[in-house]
Amino acid sequence: MNQLSADHESGELLSVSTGFEELVPAQSALDQKINAHFAGLVVRKDLVKAVKGNAIVPTYVLEYLLGQYAASDDEATIQSGITTVRKILADHYVHRNQAELVKSTIRERGRYKVIDRVTVSLNEKDDVYEAEFSNLGIKQVLVEPATVKAHPKLLVGGVWCICDIEYMHTDNARVVPWILGSIKPIQLSSFDVESFMAARRAFSTDEWIDLIIQSIGFNPELFGRRAKLLQLVRLIPFVERNYNLVELGPKGTGKSHIFSEFSPHGMLISGGEVTVAKLFVNNANGRIGLVGYWDVVAFDEFAGKKKRTDKSLVDIMKNYMANKSFSRGVETLGAEASMVFVGNTSHTVPYMLKHSDLFDELPESYHDSAYLDRLHFYIPGWEFDAIRGEMFSEGYGFVVDYIAEVLKSMRDSDYSDRYQEYFTLSTDISTRDRDGIHKTFSGLMKILYPHGEATQDEIREVLTLAIEGRKRVKDQILRIDSTMADVKFGFFEKSGNWIEVTTLEEREYPDYYNQRTRKLPAEITGSVESADEVAVGAAPKTDSDTGEVDKPLFEGHREFQENQRGVSFENLLLPYLKGATEITITDGYVRQFHQARNLMDLIECLAVAKDPGDEITLKLITVESTDGEDKLFKQLEFLGKVKDAASTAGIKFQVSFDPKIHDRSIVTDTGWRIILGRGLDFYQYVASDTFDLAARIPAMRQVKAFSITYLRA
């Protein structure tokens, strides 16, 4: 029996109400599958918030406990487990403001179990190891050398532990009365690799991605494919040795969450607290720093132009990031810790591209091409929405400590050559660029396809993202260092077909992005002219006096990438609808509120652009909702409101239902036929918040991946 459970066997504990019984979410098909294949290794993610209360404790500590008592899909077991975990936290987790009470309890009982963060240091004078308990506030507690040898991370940064502490007072003032009876770091001791791989084969790629997203704590239904993959890139430092990652973006997007809460093998420190001695080696005593003990060292709040930095730290960091080694006097040492740098941006992406570069927010000492060239991937933090309550998952995900051990175990594997059966990288790509691409590709493959079974299209998707992340780094270096050679990023298929890879902001803001580099080719942007004509969905230029179009409207096919901004009905459709007196929209999915809102956005564009003296007939052919009478009633209510609103602007809105329609299109009486891949529903979820610009300005919203084709009769 677990030591903690022995303290909580009394029957009366089971009668304590959790206050959670009425909030039990229904299990999805994916949740049922997760429980079937990973029984006892997953937990319902909403339980963490339910039991945490005001305990300032990492998620992996809570899930360690939930994994022992509530890792089940049986509701009675879950309720009992929640009760037990709450009781354990109430009795044994040490709050700083209750430290004296806990110390008194230890004294009165003689021995007591606590959950606290423990840091050990060597007392060279007395030649003993001594522990310090962060919340309890006691120091100089003797620790056996065997304990330190078994858990060396106690020496650097501290580890959350379950400890038995004894109290024995003596008349000798030099003797500390606190005695460490036992100590157990909160982390999984082992796991079965073969059963993990076998279970992975039971899931499709989409299901597996959703499982990992739920394990991180998010609801996958509110994220697009690209957004999910970018979330998974945040995990690569845990699965790939010596991986250098940077993420800069707006506040509140969860940049540091994974590195502080997700794994007991990662350490998050403030960028301002970094020293050579703390990070690499203390030459005074020869003690190795954080990189020698942790799999991931993440620097929070790393951005800030005016931040003071240690030049010697920058130099040794450059060497470590490039060569995986650092010096201690005359001795050279190696380490495997991945380096992660996260920070906030204070400007928009187009502003940074127009006036400087995407590394503009970094401290001056790090705004250096030699340092930046060591980075393997730049996560575009501006693509993530600010974290909202509805984003958190109520489904099942891996107990954090379990998935952390899975990722750690795969650091020994190398998947970097898995694409070579199908693709060949451009010969333009340098060794350092290639290393960055390979490490990202290997890491994502280990996370997504640990069993080694991926299709050609799945491998293409991973390789493209890996190249994009390194390209973002290199393109910004080209702005900083004019001596750097331009690179053609992409790959060849075995057929010899060339696939060029671009970044999303390159497609959104080509004028600003390519100030230093070449113009984008037409096949990437959809342009028939040059890059200065292809801002996303840009309407053709017009003469300000006559309103006549200077150039013909674009005909052909365009692709838009997930998370792209700057797309609105005004620049995507309105130029093709102007002058039409009859417009027919065929779209089977105008049923829900956001879909009706999209339709209203289009009608608003037409209303503003039309002559007040003209009328337009707007016909919608759609499909009735089949999700019950309530949903059908709502659909008819939405469409009725659209009709009433449109009529005030001289737009006659007509609706007909056809259950057989499939293709989505817009046809005008001026001869245009527009094929819409997703119909009007190409925006990602946007909350109806009056104070959110994305809710008010469509061009500020992120889109789903979609295509559009313009045909002229």
Task: Give the list of residues 6+ apart from residue 436 with CB closer than 8 angstroms, or none.
Answer: 375, 376, 377, 466, 469, 470, 473
Task: Give the list of residues 6+ apart from residue 253 with CB closer than 8 angstroms, or none.
Answer: 381, 384, 385, 386, 387
Checking if the pLDDT of 27 tops 60, the result is yes
What phi and psi, each to the nearest 5 degrees, are found at residue 650? Answer: 80, 25
Instruction: Identify whether 190 is part of a domain.
Output: no
**pLDDT greater at residue 13 or residue 294:** 294
Task: Give the range with max mean pLDDT: 441-450, 559-568, 678-687.
Answer: 441-450
The CA distance from 462 to 439, in Å, is: 11
Checking if the pLDDT of 269 tops 60, the result is yes
The CA distance from 448 to 446, in Å, is: 6
Percent of the chain having pLDDT more than 70?
Answer: 89
SS3 246: strand
Checking if the pLDDT of 422 tops 50, the result is yes
Instruction: Identify whether 536 is part of a domain.
Output: no
Instruction: Identify whether 161 is part of a domain.
Output: yes
What is the structure's pLDDT at 26?
A: 66
> Amino acid identity of 678?
R
What is the structure's pLDDT at 53?
A: 67
The CA distance from 181 to 164, in Å, is: 5
Of the three residues 41, 73, 92, the one that is the final residue of a domain is: 92
What is the structure's pLDDT at 526?
A: 41
- For residue 305, give Cα distances in angstroms to 113, 255, 315, 634: 46, 19, 18, 52
Q: What confidence tens digit (pLDDT) does each residue in 44-82 have?
A: 888 887 787 666 777 778 888 888 888 777 888 888 888
Q: How confident is the model at residue 175 (pLDDT cuts 50, 70, 90)?
A: confident
Question: DSSP assignment, residue 398?
Answer: E
- 570 and 672 share one domain: yes
Of the three residues 412, 438, 454, the one that is the final residue of a domain is: 412
- 472 and 509 share one domain: yes
Instruction: Identify whether 701 is part of a domain.
Output: yes
Instruction: For residue 584, give the CATH number of its domain.
Output: 3.30.870.30
**pLDDT greater at residue 199 or residue 158:** 199
Which segment of 12-21, 25-34, 130-139, 172-181 scores lowest on mean pLDDT?
12-21
CB 557 within 8 A of CB 526: yes
What is the structure's pLDDT at 534?
A: 36
Let me know the angle formed at the C-alpha of 271 by 266 and 274, rounded to the nearest 5 degrees: 85
Instruction: Identify whether 528 is part of a domain.
Output: no
Instruction: For residue 119, give the CATH number of its domain.
Output: 2.40.50
SS3 13: helix
Which segment of 230-239, 310-319, 468-477 scores lowest on mean pLDDT?
310-319
Checking if the pLDDT of 2 tops 90, the result is no
- For residue 177, give Cα distances in angstroms to 94, 112, 171, 321, 608: 19, 14, 10, 45, 80
Q: Which of 521, 528, 586, 585 is nearest to 552 (CA)?
A: 528
Task: Give the list of residues 6+ apart from residue 15 with CB closer than 8 angstroms, or none.
Answer: none
Lookup: tokens for 576: 């093709």
What phi and psi, each to the nearest 5 degrees, are found at residue 521? Answer: -70, 155
**pLDDT greater at residue 532 or residue 288:** 288
Q: How confident is the model at residue 89 (pLDDT cuts 50, 70, 90)?
A: confident
- 240 and 358 share one domain: yes
Of the three residues 412, 437, 461, the one that is the final residue of a domain is: 412
- 328 and 383 share one domain: yes
Lookup: tokens for 543: 């003469």
Percent of the chain having pLDDT more than 90?
Answer: 52
- 254 and 348 share one domain: yes
Checking if the pLDDT of 20 tops 50, the result is no
What's the rounded mean pLDDT across residues 98-105? 92
- 358 and 484 share one domain: no
CB 278 within 8 A of CB 289: yes
Mean pLDDT over the full length of the chain:
86
The CA distance from 261 to 254, in Å, is: 11
Q: What confidence tens digit (pLDDT) does each residue in 326-339 have?
A: 887 678 888 999 99
The CA distance from 160 to 136, in Å, is: 12
What's the rounded mean pLDDT across residues 91-98? 88
Query: Domains in the chain: how many in total?
Result: 5
Instruction: Identify whether 585 is part of a domain.
Output: yes
Checking if the pLDDT of 398 tops 50, the result is yes
Q: How confident is the model at residue 239 (pLDDT cuts 50, 70, 90)?
A: very high
Q: Where in the sequence is the domain holding 630, given as residue range(s)?
A: 556-712
Instruction: Identify whether 621 is part of a domain.
Output: yes
Q: How confident is the model at residue 523 (pLDDT cuts 50, 70, 90)?
A: very low
- 297 and 205 share one domain: yes
Q: How confident is the model at residue 190 (pLDDT cuts 50, 70, 90)?
A: low
For the chain, give the number of residues.
Answer: 713
* Radius of gyration for the chain, computed over Cα atoms and rounded to the nearest angstrom: 29
- 294 and 389 share one domain: yes
- 474 and 489 share one domain: yes
Q: Taking the mean position of all CA atoms in its chain, how far away is CA 109?
A: 46
**pLDDT greater at residue 17 or residue 466:** 466
- 575 and 704 share one domain: yes
What is the structure's pLDDT at 571?
A: 92
What is the structure's pLDDT at 486?
A: 84
Instruction: Identify whether 671 is part of a domain.
Output: yes
What is the structure's pLDDT at 283?
A: 76
Q: Which of 400, 379, 363 is nearest to 244 (CA)?
A: 379
What's the rounded mean pLDDT across residues 348-355? 90
- 645 and 579 share one domain: yes
What phi and psi, each to the nearest 5 degrees, are found at residue 676? Answer: -105, 115
Q: How confident is the model at residue 551 (pLDDT cuts 50, 70, 90)?
A: confident
Question: DSSP assignment, residue 643?
Answer: H
Q: What confidence tens digit (pLDDT) does each residue in 591-646 have?
A: 999 999 999 999 999 999 988 888 899 999 999 998 888 889 999 999 999 999 99
Instruction: For residue 220, give the CATH number of its domain.
Output: 3.40.50.300
- 297 and 277 share one domain: yes
